[in-house]
Every structure is written in C-alpha cells, then in structure tokens.
C-alpha cells in the first residue's frame, strides 16, 4: 500500500474532474477508505477557503479494481453563505463504483458545546501483541496497512456496555509525520475510518467466516485533530442480520476530545465454501 501523501495526491484533469493514482496493493479490490478519502479530496478542492467539511455520506456501489486509477467527478450542488454542498462520483471503466455527498460549514461559528466522554482504556504504549487477537483476514489487512500503527485494546481491559452486543476499541495513528494541514488530516481520517470498523461486528462471532465489504459510510468531523497522533476508535455493532451488519464508531484524541463519528453498514454474508473473506488476487463475482 502506498503512503498517504501519494494516495491523496490527485491529478486535476479539469475544473471539477480529478484522477486518483493507482496504489500498490495485495488485494484485488480497492480499499473502501481509499475511495472515500480520494472523493473527499476532490470535493475539498472545489470549495473556497473559509469552509471546512463537517460531514460526508457515501455508498459503495461496485467493487473497485485496485490495479486501475479512479476518476472523480464533482458536482457543485450549492454554495451558500454558511454551507456548501458537493456530490462526487468515483468512476472506473465508465461505471460508478462510489457516490458521496459532503457538506462544508463556515469556519468560526459559535454555539453551545458538549461531548461524550472517552472510555477509560490502557494507553497505546501499554498494548502489545495485537496480532494474536485478530482474525486471519484482519491480520492480512494489518500487513496491507504497514504505514499505520493499529493496536486493538484487549476486551478484558475496559468496561463493557451490557446493552451492546458487539464492542471493539482500537488505538490508531499514522506512523509517518503528516503535513501541517487540517484538510489533509481530515481526508486522512476518512481513509483510516474504514480500518477495523466492520470487523467489530464479528467480535461475538469469532468462528463465523463471512464475506466482507463496505456498503455505505457516513462521517461527521467535530473537532480538530492530527491523524499522526494517537486516536481512539471506540466501535460498536448494534445489529447484524440478513447478511449485513451495522457498525458505529466514535473517535477521540488522546486527551479525550471527541473529534469524529462514523456509521457504516457492511456485508457480512456467510462465506460459501472455497471463497475468501477479502479477495487477494481476483474479484469475487457479485456481492
């Protein structure tokens, strides 16, 4: 997998058309976080300074091919005094593989403030041997994400919500120092947010083998942060049924500030014999 500065370095083909680079990958399908992050980069490049993205909502429509570049087409839906809206389509071979809407809000507005509190969990430096607690597919993803320091908090090391069936807590950050650019960190977190989240749905089902794919992805950016400093990804899966799982994550910085929230539905269909959870070389037919 290429480094994040290469991944987010899109070529501008026309005023509202961009091309994402081919990124070396051991997987046949394009990583969903990559498509979402590149789509967000495309949208941000069409919005004037003074507004920052506060939310995005995307649908993964078809599996992307990791070996091919992706074209991003931006529609300027609205530019108001306080808010701007953009729609982005990610296209490969003439087919839309991802569709996203993003909203941008004027910087500097003031209002009442409150926030959820972060769980009491061990610091990232206290966590060792993360790999042995992960599934085979998760370990393969860790190998793919070598630029990212990802540490799963042991389940016995934090208090559990008794009303939530599936919980997982993960520390993560970029291993590489990143540019001093708030927008770059936001787009990087869009990439990172697809890491490990869907796997939180499998915590109560460690021996159930499933075909996995992101179906949709929504994010809200709440407070400033750096993606090269430790962030805590507090994940739950409220429901799994019918071959789909709903997951939700709250992202805190190490000081306990709630900086972002994510909601995602993904495919968790029982794996047919001979198939793999995440294709390594050829695309699985259909979804």
Q: Which residue has the tokens 């809000």?
A: 105
The single residue of 84, 103, 194, 235 carrying the catalytic annotation is 194
Could you tell me where the beta strands, DSSP code E, fall in the chain? Answer: 11-14, 17-20, 51-60, 70-79, 83-92, 95-106, 148-152, 167-174, 210-221, 231-241, 244-253, 258-270
- Using the CB atoms, write b or e for 3-35: b if 16+ within 10 Å: ebeebbebeeeeebebbbbebebebbbbbbbbb
Q: In percent, how much of the chain has pLDDT > 90?
A: 81
Question: Cα torsion for 12, 61, 236, 8, to the nearest 10°?
Answer: -10
Q: Render pLDDT for 85-142 as a digit per residue (tens, 0 to 9).
A: 999 999 999 999 999 999 999 999 999 999 999 999 999 999 986 666 665 556 666 6
Q: Both tokens of residue 227?
A: 């993606």
Cβ contacts of 181 within 8 Å, gap of 6 or more: none
Q: Mark whether 214 is an active-site residue.
A: yes
Cα(45)–Cα(132) distance, rounded to whole angstroms? Answer: 41
Q: Mark whether 92 is an active-site residue.
A: no
The single residue of 167, 174, 214, 237 carrying the catalytic annotation is 214
Stated as kind and residue range, the H or E segment containing 197 is none
Q: Indicate the pLDDT class of residue 12, thresholds 50, 70 and 90.
A: very high
- Report all structural domains of the chain as residue ranges with CATH numbers, in order of start: 1-106 (3.10.129.10), 122-273 (3.10.129.10)
Whether the predicted pLDDT of 278 surpasses 70:
no
Average pLDDT, rounded, for the chain: 91
pLDDT of the residue at 25: 77
Q: Both tokens of residue 52?
A: 């920052």
Q: Render pLDDT for 111-124 as a digit per residue (tens, 0 to 9).
A: 999 999 999 999 99
Q: Mark whether 200 is an active-site residue.
A: no
pLDDT of the residue at 287: 38
């Amino acid at each position: 997998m290429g480094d994040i500065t290469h991944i987010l370095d899109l070529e501008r083909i026309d005023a509202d058309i961009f091309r994402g680079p081919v990124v070396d990958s051991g997987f046949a399908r394009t990583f969903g976080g990559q498509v979402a992050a590149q789509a967000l980069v495309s949208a941000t490049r069409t919005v004037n300074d003074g507004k920052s993205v506060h939310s995005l909502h995307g649908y993964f429509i078809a599996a992307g091919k990791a070996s091919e570049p992706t074209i991003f087409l931006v529609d300027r839906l609205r530019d108001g005094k306080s808010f701007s809206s953009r729609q982005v389509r990610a296209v490969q071979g003439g087919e839309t593989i991802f569709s996203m809407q993003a909203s941008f809000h004027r910087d500097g507005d003031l209002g009442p403030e409150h926030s959820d509190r972060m769980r009491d969990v061990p610091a990232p430096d206290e966590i060792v041997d993360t790999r042995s607690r992960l599934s085979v597919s998760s370990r393969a993803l860790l190998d793919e994400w070598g630029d990212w320091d990802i540490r799963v908090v042991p389940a016995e090391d934090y208090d559990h919500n008794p009303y939530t069936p599936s919980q997982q807590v993960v520390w993560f950050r970029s291993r590489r120092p990143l540019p001093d650019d708030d927008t770059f960190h936001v787009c990087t977190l869009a990439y990172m947010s697809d890491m490990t989240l869907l796997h939180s749905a499998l915590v109560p089902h460690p021996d159930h083998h499933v075909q996995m794919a992101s179906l949709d992805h929504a994010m809200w950016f709440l407070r400033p942060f750096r993606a090269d400093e430790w962030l805590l990804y507090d994940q739950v899966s409220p429901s799994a049924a019918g071959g789909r799982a709903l997951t939700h994550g709250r992202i805190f910085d190490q000081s306990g500030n709630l900086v972002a929230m994510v909601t995602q539905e993904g495919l968790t269909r029982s794996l047919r014999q001979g198939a793999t959870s995440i294709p390594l070389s050829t695309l699985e037919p259909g979804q």
